[in-house]
Structure 1
Amino acid sequence: MKSYRDQTEVLVKDYLLADAVIPYTSVLCGVLMCKMAYDLSQLVSSVNLKSYTSLTKIQRIEWNNRGMSSAHAIFITMMSLYMVFVSDFFYNELQGPVTLRSSNLSTFSLGVSAGYFLTDLVMMFWLYPCLGGLEYVLHHLLSLCAIAYAMFTGQGQLYTYMVLISETTTPGINMRWFLDTTGMKRSGVYLINGVLMFFAWLAARILLFIYLFYHIYLHYDEVLQMHAFGYFLALVVPSALFIMNVMWFLKILKGLKKLLAKRQ
């Protein structure tokens, strides 16, 4: 017990209290971004879309919530693609173990994302289950836990960004709901969106996760250098999300087959 207590004290002193301005400020920025995106979605939709005013109150709330999630998805997808595939920060061998690298930019971006997941979780709990059932709550809790750990400790940020690339599918999912809600389920746009969503999901939530597991295998000695809780998150969170992604992917595939069959 004394050993666990000492490790906890070191974790709090060396990580949670170090450079706290950036994490907490970035989370606040994420919450404010959500508020702005929600209000902007409400304003633009009410002025430009006649179908928006005919929606029920809960539908309008979900509409604006999905606008908010799309704004976050665009932001974090761009930052994740940059950190994983463009920047050499995580691939410079002189920087030390890849699992222990962090920068002000990477930490700030994760904080913005944490602010979104925190805001969305609060809305889910407040209106449960109107904005998503148990699987969505579990998805957000796992994501928020992993992001918060990587943000505060600076550990496992590369793998966190790899997982966050999966947010690239969110705008397509939201667009599907928008089209369905406004009575455009039989339109060509709905079909095109479904096809694009299928391939985006396959690339970002299936194939990329397989690459992530392969990367963890190649750098397993560096993964072992993480704190015990970080090691646990690096193995469990992507695995749990991958299982959920496969289940949702099968539903998307089934829905796409059904939609194409109706078009023939």
Structure 2
Amino acid sequence: MGSPFSFGFFTAAADVVPSIEIQWLASVFAGIIFSFIVYRLTATFSSRLFAGYRKLTSAGKVEWNNRGFSTFHAIFASFASFYLLILSDLFKDDSQENLVVNRSSTFSNSVLSFSTGYFLADLAMVIWQFPALGGLEYVLHHGLSMFSIIQSLLSGQAQIYILMVLFSESTTPFVNLRWYLDTAGLKSSKLYIWNGVALFFGWLIARVFLFMFLFTHMWTHFDEVKEVFPMGFYSLLVVPPVLSMMNLFWFWKIAKGMVKTLSKAKHSE
């Protein structure tokens, strides 16, 4: 009988355990393939279920479908990150003898590789449709995300901080729903208003408070952070602050939009 092994997200039996690099590549390709599968499924179901979708321009349909697979990845990434950071014992104090910055697992590697596949697919579409799906800030965001994830995968270090940042993707479904409702002409609906409120508080928690916790954790564990290889160490000092400033800028815009929407709703009563 073959011995069981974890191959990305799939478990199979084989006589030879594949190298960790093959597992990473399998998960990266899984991320790319799943992204395009969800892209096509979004197009298929939307054309049948939403009359407004059929009226969109070609560029509008591309963005609609693109937001479908970004929502899929966001749900997957946020749940996987929450499990690894909170529910599992991987990063809990005293759960292992090695430093918290040196901890990783087959599952955490698969999660990060899968997300790399998503970011590659989404970045390709952003560049292909540039600037329709997002400007330079999206290219910067995706580029920094992939750079940090790949470094963490190759070194096996700092995955706790990469997963914290990845959890911030939990706000993406609210951002996408806001765009869907706006495109469908439902900006005056209660769902649009409540989604805006949820986006505000979700962003505050996942992209403001969480980054404050990340910086605090890095400070209190700085003796361990200094053990990260040089490029990774300096990346930890640069990339999270850059992403945090981008998040604060977008949070300011979200707050302005929520106040404007609530004011309109109050005056229309």
Judge same fold: TM > 0.5, yes or no.
yes
Match of 2:23 in 1: 22
1:51-106 Cα distance to aligned partner (Å, 9 max, x none): 10000000000000000100000000000000111111112423311111111100
Residues 24-39 of structure 1 correspond to what in structure 2 (within 5 A)? 24-39=25-40
**Shift of residue 23 of structure 1?**
1.2
CA distance in 2, matches of 1:65, 1:59: 10
Match of 1:232 in 2: 234
Question: In the alignment, which of 203, 206, 220 is matched to residue 205 of structure 2?
Answer: 203
Tell me the amino acid that sits aligned with residue 219 of structure 2: Y
Unaligned 5+ segments in structure 1 are 1-17
Match of 2:224 in 1: 222
Tell me the amino acid that sits aligned with residue 48 of structure 1: L
CA distance in 2, matches of 1:182, 1:147: 35
**Shift of residue 152 of structure 1?**
2.1
Match of 1:249 in 2: 251
Q: After the TM superposition, list the runs of 4 or more consecutive aligned residues in structure 1 that deviate by more than 2 angstroms.
A: 92-95
Match of 1:156 in 2: 158
Tell me the amino acid that sits aligned with residue 80 of structure 1: S
Q: Which has the higher helix share?
A: 1
CA distance in 1, matches of 2:107, 2:97: 16
Match of 1:13 in 2: none
Match of 1:12 in 2: none
CA distance in 1, matches of 2:107, 2:183: 38
Match of 2:130 in 1: 128
Q: CA RMSD in A?
A: 0.9
TM-score (norm 2): 0.90
CA distance in 2, matches of 1:105, 1:92: 19
Match of 2:84 in 1: 83
Residues 97-112 of structure 1 correspond to what in structure 2 (within 5 A)? 97-112=99-114
CA distance in 2, matches of 1:21, 1:102: 17
Q: Percent identity?
A: 45
Match of 1:73 in 2: 74
SS for the counterpart of 1:260 is helix
1:241-262 Cα distance to aligned partner (Å, 9 max, x none): 0000000000000111111111
Match of 1:180 in 2: 182
**Shift of residue 212 of structure 1?**
0.4
SS for the counterpart of 1:95 is coil
Of 197-206 and 96-105, more deviation after overlay is shown by 96-105
CA distance in 2, matches of 1:189, 1:206: 24
Aligned length: 247
CA distance in 1, matches of 2:197, 2:170: 14
**Larger RCO of the pair (alpha carbons < 8 Å, separation 6+):** 1
CA distance in 2, matches of 1:233, 1:139: 14
SS for the counterpart of 2:20 is coil
TM-score (norm 1): 0.92
Q: Residues 95, 22 of structure 1: CA spacing in aligned structure 2 closer, same or farther, 3 A cutoff? A: farther
- Aligned 8 A contact 1:216 1:223 in 2: yes
